[in-house]
């Protein structure tokens, strides 16, 4: 199964039980209310006036006794000559900025995650998108004595495969007020505008940041620098900043841990369903049929991404009738100067760049692109499995890391390999045993490479720094519909987000996922999760939670109880258990699984798990692949399996 990133598809899956809603989702109608509910202009409140280094901002009084500020620029618009450059300082303003309306999302292919009206095939958003939002408890300004106490800062990094998504979905009034923190969320550049590496840009760049290709990660670092300079005015403590995020947001948190440029800008981290995958500069630039040797992957030969920068350039030349074929375009590129190639790239509209990148991969709902590039400056050249094993090689901070029990069911539920459609709309699992088995394999990718291996490496390198693991098990979606959502989705990717924000009705929260029967249990679980997150932001350990006595969440260890299971009271509640999946254990299961029907299927599963997955290629073993039980995989080119990309 090719990786289909997941929160966008979750909308389809969650409402797939009702044909009318399916039709609405397919057309894009019916989502406009949900997508724009949080973009309405708020009424300015003079009591919310704050002074930043760029000028005064005025926000609004929000619910839960909070103040909010929306659309504050933290960097200059990365447009024109600032495209594919590190973010530059925002321009000062002389009159108060009314921060009462969310900014546009960064340019992207439309999904409902953009938070703006659109339909399939549209490119929405703007290159002018480097803005952040803030929520703070209101009483800090109304009570002078409280104003002297600076609160922890929690900066949220949204998900969406680093291809789509927006900060506007995540309103922080509840977590700010209930956990007594300052909540910040931000936009960052996405897709080929946020992650793009080509020698023509490197060789014409003014500095190493501009040459890195990691513009989205540099945006997040610039946001953290803005927090250091300005958050004191909003009641926040710049010396107590927690970064947290989900999916691609959590992947970017691993990037912050690895980046020397982010050192000292944050002090704690929470990774929700994160990936530890990074990319070499070669894979991000070379043509898909070009081989190179990857020294950190058993010296195996690897290839460029199908939508690498050279593949995008070649397709652009074809689309513009400069070349008649891909082969002719490749020949033309070989004779062009860096300056002329850079000129071609800067002349492209965002729509052209994104559409071409999408056209080069099979999965276009949420197309992946090479990202978190190991350029040697913004990110070290070593992959994370090498980097995090050595003390002093990364920004070691206390960390919560975890994933959901059934992560990939959010994608499997829309995959015709596993699911058929009754009456053309209602998904039905073809083979329940196979669905469960592959769900377990795919979930292992998230848990082993994104949680247990990271915890093992960091604990070994810095045993004094607390690492805390979790697994989110809640699966009480309605089960009395034409579609059995608990079986289909389980504890799928993205479901924990509503619990972290205690928001089951707006923003990212999807209709029909939450029935009345589950309300008491999910509210209790949500409060428990928020209290663990809040206590961690205040103190660096989730402990027993911030506001109520909860089971003690102890640090990760290889033996004994090492993760906190997060589930409703009806299914055991929140409790410590032992859970330790590993790449080696997964390899052994693939080798010994007699239910795998063919050697080709076995080889494909090995490739999906360790080479071409979204999660990591750090554990790819080419020799083991060639000798895989059942006759080896020498006859199967790992890059040729249908549906991997």
Asked if the model's pLDDT at residue 107 lies above 50, the reply is yes
The residue-averaged pLDDT of 114-135 equals: 95
Quick check: 23 and 424 in contact, CB under 8 A?
Answer: no
d(CA 342, CA 79): 15
Q: To the nearest whole number, what is the mean pLDDT of the chain?
A: 90
Asked if the model's pLDDT at residue 348 lies above 50, the reply is yes
Q: Is residue 277 part of a domain?
A: no
Q: What's the pLDDT at 422?
A: 85
Same domain, 135 and 151: yes
Interacting residues of 500 by C-beta distance below 8 A, sequence separation 6+ = 175, 246, 272, 526, 529, 530, 533
The residue-averaged pLDDT of 387-409 equals: 97
| pLDDT tens profile 194-253 | 999 999 999 999 999 999 999 999 999 999 999 999 999 999 999 999 999 999 999 999
19-33, 200-214, 355-369, 465-479, range with the lowest pLDDT:
19-33
246-250, 298-302, 402-406, 635-639, range with the lowest pLDDT:
298-302
Same domain, 573 and 587: no
Edge-to-edge order in the sheet of strand 268-272: 60-62, 66-73, 131-137, 182-186, 151-157, 236-246, 268-272, 399-404, 467-472, 563-566, 575-577
Q: What's the pLDDT at 39?
A: 56
Quick check: 414 and 5 in contact, CB under 8 A?
Answer: no
For residue 109, how many other CB atoms are within 10 A of its CB? 27
3-state secondary structure of 144: helix
What is the per-residue burial (b if ≥16 Cβ within 10 Å, else e) of 399-433? bbbbbbbbbbbbbbbbbeebbeeeeebbbebeeee
The residue-averaged pLDDT of 117-144 equals: 86
Quick check: 162 and 369 in contact, CB under 8 A?
Answer: yes
pTM beyond 0.75: yes
Q: Is residue 367 part of a domain?
A: no
Q: What's the pLDDT at 96?
A: 97
Quick check: 439 and 409 in contact, CB under 8 A?
Answer: yes
Percent of the chain with pLDDT over 70: 89
Asked if the model's pLDDT at residue 408 lies above 60, the reply is yes
Task: Write out the E strands in 224-288.
Answer: 236-246, 268-272
| pLDDT tens profile 138-184 | 875 444 455 568 999 999 999 999 999 999 989 999 999 999 999 99
Asked if the model's pLDDT at residue 365 lies above 90, the reply is no
Q: What's the pLDDT at 642?
A: 66
Residue with tokens 């409140």: 45
What is the per-residue burial (b if ≥16 Cβ within 10 Å, else e) of 264-281? ebbbbbbbbbbbbbbbbb
Cα–Cα distance list, 305 to 4, 42, 311, 479 (Å)? 16, 44, 8, 41
Same domain, 340 and 411: no
Asked if the model's pLDDT at residue 22 lies above 70, the reply is no
Last-in-domain residue among 272, 304, 330: 272
Q: What's the pLDDT at 2?
A: 39
The conformational region for residue 522 under phi > 0 = left, psi -120 to 50 = alpha, else beta, is: alpha
Q: Is the dihedral of CA 632, 635, 641, 642 positive or negative?
A: negative
Same domain, 423 and 465: yes
Quick check: 295 and 315 in contact, CB under 8 A?
Answer: no
Same domain, 422 and 495: yes
Asked if the model's pLDDT at residue 581 lies above 70, the reply is yes
Same domain, 511 and 417: yes
| Domain hosting residue 198, numbered range | 7-272
d(CA 403, CA 470): 7
Residue 46 DSSP label: G
**Nearest alpha-carbon partner for 240 in 300, 325, 180, 164:** 180
Same domain, 571 and 590: no
* pLDDT grade for 293, boundaries at 50, 70 and 90: confident
Q: What's the pLDDT at 364?
A: 60
Asked if the model's pLDDT at residue 17 lies above 70, the reply is no
Same domain, 196 and 71: yes
Looking at 299-388, list the stretches that DSSP marks H as alpha helix, in order from N- to C-terminal side.
309-319, 326-335, 338-347, 350-359, 384-387
What is the count of structural domains for the chain? 4
Helix axes 583-592, 432-447, angle to 10 degrees: 150
83-87, 350-354, 484-488, range with the lowest pLDDT:
484-488
Task: Give the angle subtended at the CA of 193 by the CAs of 188 and 194, to the nearest 5°.
Answer: 45
Q: What's the pLDDT at 482?
A: 76
Asked if the model's pLDDT at residue 9 lies above 80, the reply is no
* pLDDT grade for 101, boundaries at 50, 70 and 90: very high
Q: Is residue 597 part of a domain?
A: yes
Q: Is the dihedral of CA 183, 187, 190, 196 positive or negative?
A: negative
d(CA 24, CA 79): 35
* pLDDT grade for 506, boundaries at 50, 70 and 90: low
Same domain, 340 and 429: no
Q: Is residue 351 part of a domain?
A: yes
The tokens describing 48, both together, are 């919310």
Asked if the model's pLDDT at residue 15 lies above 80, the reply is no
Asked if the model's pLDDT at residue 6 lies above 50, the reply is no
d(CA 469, CA 459): 12
3-state secondary structure of 412: helix
Interacting residues of 436 by C-beta distance below 8 A, sequence separation 6+ = none
Cα–Cα distance list, 213 to 196, 198, 272 (Å)? 5, 8, 25
Q: Is residue 143 part of a domain?
A: yes
**Nearest alpha-carbon partner for 530 in 542, 540, 520:** 542
* pLDDT grade for 468, boundaries at 50, 70 and 90: very high
Asked if the model's pLDDT at residue 295 lies above 80, the reply is no
d(CA 95, CA 231): 20
Last-in-domain residue among 332, 359, 386: 359
Same domain, 355 and 260: no
Q: Is residue 278 part of a domain?
A: no
Q: Is residue 368 part of a domain?
A: no
Last-in-domain residue among 577, 601, 629: 577
The residue-averaged pLDDT of 304-321 equals: 96
Q: Is residue 591 part of a domain?
A: yes
The tokens describing 188, both together, are 């960052």
Same domain, 146 and 16: yes
The residue-averaged pLDDT of 512-540 equals: 94
Same domain, 254 and 296: no
CATH code at position 240? 3.40.50.1820
| pLDDT tens profile 510-524 | 667 888 889 999 999
Residue 148 DSSP label: T
Task: Give the angle subtended at the CA of 269 by the CAs of 84 and 226, to the nearest 5°.
Answer: 45
Asked if the model's pLDDT at residue 415 lies above 70, the reply is yes
**Nearest alpha-carbon partner for 69 in 57, 77, 53:** 57
């Amino acid at each position: 199964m090719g990786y289909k990133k997941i929160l966008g598809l979750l909308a389809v899956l969650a409402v797939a039980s009702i044909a009318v809603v399916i039709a609405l989702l397919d057309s894009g109608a019916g989502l406009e209310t949900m997508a724009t509910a949080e973009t309405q202009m708020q009424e300015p409140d003079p009591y919310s006036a704050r002074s930043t280094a760029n000028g005064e901002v005025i926000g609004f009084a929000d619910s839960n006794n909070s103040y909010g500020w929306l659309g504050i620029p933290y960097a200059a618009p990365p447009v024109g000559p600032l495209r594919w450059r590190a973010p530059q300082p925002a321009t000062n303003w002389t009159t108060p900025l009314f921060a009462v309306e969310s900014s546009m999302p960064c340019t992207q292919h439309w999904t409902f995650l953009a938070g703006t009206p659109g339909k399939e095939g549209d490119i929405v958003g703007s290159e002018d998108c480097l803005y952040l939002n803030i929520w703070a408890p209101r009483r800090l300004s109304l009570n002078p004595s409280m104003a002297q106490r600076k609160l922890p800062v929690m900066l949220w990094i949204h998900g969406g495969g680093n291809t789509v998504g927006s900060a506007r979905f995540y309103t922080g009034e509840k977590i700010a007020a209930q956990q007594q923190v300052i909540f910040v969320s931000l936009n960052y550049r996405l897709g080929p505008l946020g992650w793009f590496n080509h020698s023509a840009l490197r060789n014409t760049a003014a500095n190493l940041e501009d040459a890195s290709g990691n513009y989205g990660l540099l945006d997040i670092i610039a946001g953290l620098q803005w927090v250091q300079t300005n958050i004191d005015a909003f009641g926040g403590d710049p010396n107590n900043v927690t970064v947290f995020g989900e999916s691609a947001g959590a992947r970017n948190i691993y990037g912050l841990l690895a980046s020397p440029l982010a050192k000292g800008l944050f002090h704690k981290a929470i990774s929700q369903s994160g990936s530890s995958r990074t990319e070499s500069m070669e894979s991000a630039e070379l043509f898909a049929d070009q081989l190179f040797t990857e020294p950190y992957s058993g010296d195996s030969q690897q290839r460029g991404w199908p939508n690498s920068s050279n593949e995008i350039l070649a397709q652009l030349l074809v689309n513009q009738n400069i070349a008649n074929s891909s082969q002719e375009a490749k020949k033309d590129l070989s004779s062009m100067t860096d300056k002329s190639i850079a000129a071609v790239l800067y002349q492209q509209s965002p729509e052209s760049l994104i559409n071409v990148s999408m056209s080069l991969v099979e999965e276009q709902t949420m197309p992946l692109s090479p990202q978190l590039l190991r350029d040697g400056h913004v990110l070290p050249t070593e992959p994370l499995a090498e980097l995090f094993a050595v003390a002093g090689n990364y920004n070691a901070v206390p960390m919560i890391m975890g994933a959901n029990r059934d992560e990939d069911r959010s994608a499997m539920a829309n995959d015709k390999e596993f699911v058929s459609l009754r009456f053309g709309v209602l998904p039905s699992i073809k083979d329940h045993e196979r669905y469960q088995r592959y769900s377990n394999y795919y979930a292992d990718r998230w848990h082993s490479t994104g949680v247990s291996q990271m915890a093992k490496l960091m604990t070994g390198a810095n045993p004094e720094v607390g690492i805390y693991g979790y697994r989110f098990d809640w699966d009480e979606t309605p089960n009395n519909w034409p579609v059995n959502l608990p079986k289909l989705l389980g504890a799928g990717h993205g479901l924990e987000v509503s619990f972290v924000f205690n928001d089951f009705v707006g923003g990212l929260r999807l209709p029909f996922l939450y029935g009345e029967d589950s309300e008491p249990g999910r509210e209790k679980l949500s409060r428990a999760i928020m209290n663990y997150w809040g206590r961690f932001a205040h103190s660096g350990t989730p402990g027993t939670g911030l506001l109520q006595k909860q089971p003690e969440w102890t640090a990760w260890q290889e033996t004994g109880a090492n993760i906190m299971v997060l589930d409703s009271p009806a299914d055991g509640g929140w409790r410590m258990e032992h859970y330790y999946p590993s790449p080696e254990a997964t390899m052994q299961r693939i080798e010994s699984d007699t239910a795998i029907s063919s050697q080709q299927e076995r080889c494909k599963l090995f490739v999906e798990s360790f080479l071409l997955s979204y999660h990591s290629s750090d554990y790819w073993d080419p020799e083991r692949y060639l000798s895989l039980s059942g006759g080896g995989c020498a006859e199967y080119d790992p890059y040729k399996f249908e549906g991997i990309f």
